[in-house]
């Protein structure tokens, strides 16, 4: 998942992440990689640079849905909505 942050909302995004990431474990989710790229780390690009890139794994698609629907997560979803301009989610399978 590529995450694009609204300008000046980095701290709000960090608050959201501090609350959301621990909930992954309750749904067999795992944050495999959490990257914060810079202009220097891109070889080429045609669009804006994401603030962060996350590689997250769930045991099943239902686990991902359950995580997304978690009541605790929904209590602080306003932090996500306030800080994130856009996300780009890529669904894949392990080969």
Residue 74 lies inside a defined structural domain of this protein:
yes
Whether pTM exceeds 0.85:
yes
List the chain pLDDT tens, one digit each, 95 residues: 999 999 999 999 999 999 999 999 999 999 999 999 999 999 999 999 999 999 999 999 999 999 999 999 999 999 999 999 999 999 988 78
Domain hosting 40: range is 2-48+59-88
- With respect to residue 68, please indicate whether it lies within any of the assigned structural domains: yes
The answer to whether residue 35 is domain-embedded is: yes
Distance CA 6, CA 94 (A): 32
Answer yes or no: is 8 within a domain.
yes
Q: What single DSSP character describes residue 50?
A: P
Query: How many folded domains does the chain comprise?
Result: 1
Considering the domain boundaries, does residue 38 fall inside one?
A: yes
Look up residue 67 and give its two tokens.
């995580």
Report yes or no on 72 lying in a domain: yes
User: Measured at the alpha carbon of residue 81, what is the angle toward residues 62 and 46, in degrees to the nearest 5?
Assistant: 90
């Amino acid at each position: 998942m590529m995450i694009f942050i609204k300008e000046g909302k980095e701290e709000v995004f960090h608050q959201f992440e501090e609350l959301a990431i621990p909930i992954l474990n309750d749904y067999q989710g795992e944050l495999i990689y959490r990257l914060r790229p810079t202009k220097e780390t891109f070889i080429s690009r045609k669009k804006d640079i994401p603030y962060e890139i996350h590689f997250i794994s769930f045991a099943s698609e239902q686990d991902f849905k359950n995580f997304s629907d978690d009541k605790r997560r929904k209590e602080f979803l306003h932090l996500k909505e306030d800080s994130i301009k856009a996300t780009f989610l890529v669904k894949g399978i392990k080969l």
